[in-house]
Amino acid sequence: MNYKITNGQLLVYTEDGFKVEKKDLYIEGDKIAGIGACDPAKEDAYETVDASDKLIMPGLINMHTHAYMTTMRNYADDVDFDEWLFKRVMPVEDRLPKEAAYWSSLLGCMEMIRTGTTAFVDMHMYCGQSPKAAQQAGMRAFIGRGLVGEDLYEDGYSRLKEALEEKEAYESDLIRFVLSPHAIYSCSEKLYVQVAEEANKRGMLKQTHLSESVAEVDNAVSKYGRTPVKLLSDLGFLDQHTILAHCVQMRGDDMEILQRSGAHAVTNPASNAKLGNGFAPVVEMDQKGINLCIGTDGTASNNTLNMFREMGLLSLIHKGIHKDSTSAPAQFVLKAATVNAAKALGMEHQTGVIETGACADLNFVDLKAVSLFPNNNIVSSLCYSANGSEVDSVMIGGKFVMKNKEMLTIDTERVYYEMNKIINENL
């Protein structure tokens, strides 16, 4: 389908940052074909979409989550980390049937679409379910089966095999796969080396959790004589194809190592705060030239997948920490959630921006929403005022997945029905 989107305002990214322009936008197939004007001879080939009172902005990119965890939303709040992980989350994960992960991932996709996320990076433990949900939802997704153990080809082999099988079954223009060792406390040094080799050989991205808590860093220093960042650097795991969730506890020259490696850091402000782990030094990371992105983490540790909330939190937290109202401004935060994320995914100029030739991954935001009115500064309002409910329509790869608030790819009542059943039977 080709669309001419007219009467709206476009949020475009330039060297000077994001700015709003009142121009028409032309979509052909899955791509943005033109901004402003098109070939008059082709005018009839487009279906017109009236975007009066709408901002058309790049879809947000959630760079770290576990979509299947919606099952455990508000199931383990206000408890300490050990109780959260070992007594609440892990026992549920052990007893959940595999198909539960499909419905909970689909619920996650629903929440992400409703709040303007068009792409997400997922780490899961139930093979095939997350990609199946992303495919049903029509979302852009970068998915990895969590890998753990001593040796990728022995203890972890079945997991690698599963990871590669789901890649084979589900890889498409929208769905890609990421090799995903879980963390340095659940994977051996050897496994990280093996994953790096596999990723290089297959041209795949890789992701891991890194330096999330004080305990993780203290344990690495006593076990390996190095910080987790230094350890992964020495193992050859850090490069421009590596996505690192958390990066909260940076010590010594960790930030210099990250910058030199070209690896991408993903801050998860709500999750890191909720689990009592602190805050990543995002202002310092940015000053040192590290590419910084934003994730929600899973709903058991957040408890939403709403990137608007995450953007607002990120800015406010860092203004507070630095006692500086100019820290982490709206422009910086919005860039982290779009342009920087696309760069980390190897999709620079292909998503996270509105420009000719990019994929049509777009949010239509209601500028008459009371929370954004009177539109004094639209970029600011997206960071400080929006709560996600202002997203009216969402397009991913040129297809509407939500239009005028109606979900077009997900049977929402069925999702609620299946989720209630899963909760009644397993929690």
Residues that bind Zn ion (CB under 5 A): 297
Q: How far is the CB of 23 from Zn ion (least distance, A)?
A: 39
Q: How far is the CB of 93 from Zn ion (least distance, A)?
A: 13
Q: What's the rounded Cα separation, in Å, for the pair 28 and 37? A: 13
What's the number of CA atoms in the CB half-sphere (13 Å) around residue 259? Answer: 13
Q: What's the rounded Cα separation, in Å, for the pair 346 and 350? A: 9
Share in percent of the chain as helix, strand, coil (round to 5) = 40, 25, 35
Q: How far is the CB of 294 from Zn ion (least distance, A)?
A: 13
CA angle 244, 395, 115 (to 5 degrees): 60
Which CB sits closer to Zn ion, 265 or 378? 265
Q: How far is the CB of 239 from Zn ion (least distance, A)?
A: 21
Please enumerate in sequence order all residues whose Cβ is within 8 A of that of 253, keeping only pairs 6 or more positions apart, or say none.
none
Tokens of 184: 């340095």
Which CB sits closer to Zn ion, 111 or 297? 297
Which CB sits closer to Zn ion, 66 or 309? 66
Q: How far is the CB of 363 from Zn ion (least distance, A)?
A: 24
Q: What's the rounded Cα separation, in Å, for the pair 216 and 185? A: 7
Q: Which residue type is seen at 194? A: Q
CA-nearest of 354, 358, 349 to 36 is 354
Which CB sits closer to Zn ion, 74 or 376? 74
Residue whose C-beta lies closest to Zn ion: 297
Q: How far is the CB of 63 from Zn ion (least distance, A)?
A: 11
Q: How far is the CB of 422 from Zn ion (least distance, A)?
A: 21
Q: How far is the CB of 405 from Zn ion (least distance, A)?
A: 30
What's the number of CA atoms in the CB half-sphere (13 Å) around residue 231? Answer: 26
CA angle 407, 171, 69 (to 5 degrees): 55
Which CB sits closer to Zn ion, 85 or 321? 85
Residue found under tokens 């909260």: 248
Taking each helix axis as running N to C, give the angle between helix 129-137 and helix 157-170, from 0 to 180 degrees, rounded to the nearest 10.
Answer: 20
> 408 exposed, middle or buried (CB, 10 Å; 0-12, 13-18, 19+)?
middle
Which CB sits closer to Zn ion, 125 or 396? 125
Longest Cα separation, the chain: 69
Which CB sits closer to Zn ion, 93 or 297? 297
- How many angstroms separate the Cα of 151 from the Cα of each of 154, 194, 202, 212, 232? 5, 8, 19, 23, 16
Which CB sits closer to Zn ion, 254 or 297? 297
Q: How far is the CB of 298 from Zn ion (least distance, A)?
A: 6
Which CB sits closer to Zn ion, 302 or 338? 302
Backbone angles phi, psi at 21, to 5 degrees: -130, 140
